[in-house]
Amino acid sequence: MTATLSLTQFLSLDGVHQAPGGPQEDPSGGFGQGGWSVPYGDEDFGRFMAGVFERPTAFLLGRRTYEIFAGYWPKQTDPADPIAGKLNALPKYVASTTLDTADWAGTTVLGGDAAKEVAALKERTEGEIQMHGSGGLARSLMAHDLIDTLHLLVFPVVLGNGRRLFVDGARPTAFRHEDATTTGSGVAIHTYTLAGRPEYGSY
């Protein structure tokens, strides 16, 4: 049975996904607004994320996100932590042509063509493979219709610069809106599933 691939992504109102979790998380390109999601991390947000982490059978990460995660989560050893427990215990795959090995236990490096590697991974895996962050990898996989579900958490802040998930040249794609909720701090959480190509008309 082929696995499904989901992406959970934090976005600003203007579509920026870079460095939501801390000032030094990813300052590449001179980005100086890291940590922009933190003020909105209330109980509703925590419940949603804990629910997401109840479902995976494996994780897929881009190199940059993998390095950020690997520098933090292996040190979180509380067995009651719903996120650390899954990240440390389940298989992890990192798509990279620059990494030869990965030290985080349970990690496999997928070299070569990311789309081919991930398509093969989905074929040989069951359940739900989860991506978190990993915007560059996500863009390349969406160009091949390999991401089945998007969980987009839209934070009520405009940043003005930084890397964006959807950029000019993205493949035209239709999605089906499956669910929506809003946290007490104003984070709009939307879930979409892949629905093929857009349809067009006129008014």
> What is the distance between the alpha carbons of residues 172 and 185, in angstroms, rounded to a whole number?
32
pLDDT in tens, the chain (203 residues): 689 999 999 999 999 999 999 999 999 999 999 999 999 999 999 999 999 999 999 999 999 999 999 999 999 988 789 999 999 999 999 999 898 888 999 999 999 899 999 999 999 999 999 999 999 999 999 999 999 999 999 999 999 999 999 999 999 999 999 999 999 999 999 999 999 999 999 99
Q: Does residue 199 lie in a domain region?
A: no
157 domain-assigned: yes
Q: Are 142 and 195 in contact (CB under 8 A)?
A: no
> Is 201 contained in some domain?
no
Q: What is the CATH number of the domain that holds 42?
A: 3.40.430.10
Is the residue at 56 inside a domain?
Answer: yes
Question: Strands (DSSP E) along 85-174, which ranges?
Answer: 92-95, 107-110, 128-132, 149-155
- Tell me how far the alpha carbon of residue 50 is from its chain's centroid: 15
- Within a domain: residue 81? yes
Radius of gyration (C-alpha) of the chain in whole angstroms: 17
Q: Please write down the HEC assignment for all residues of 5-52.
A: EEEEEEEECCCECCCCCCCCCCCHHHCCCCCCCHHHCCHHHHHHHHHH
Within-domain flag for 187: yes
- Let me know if residue 200 belongs to a domain: no
Question: In this structure, is residue 132 part of a structural domain?
Answer: yes
Which token pair is 72?
A: 């933090």
- Look up the domain containing 101 and give its range: 4-194
| CA atoms 32, 37, 38, 40: torsion sign | positive
Domain count, the chain: 1
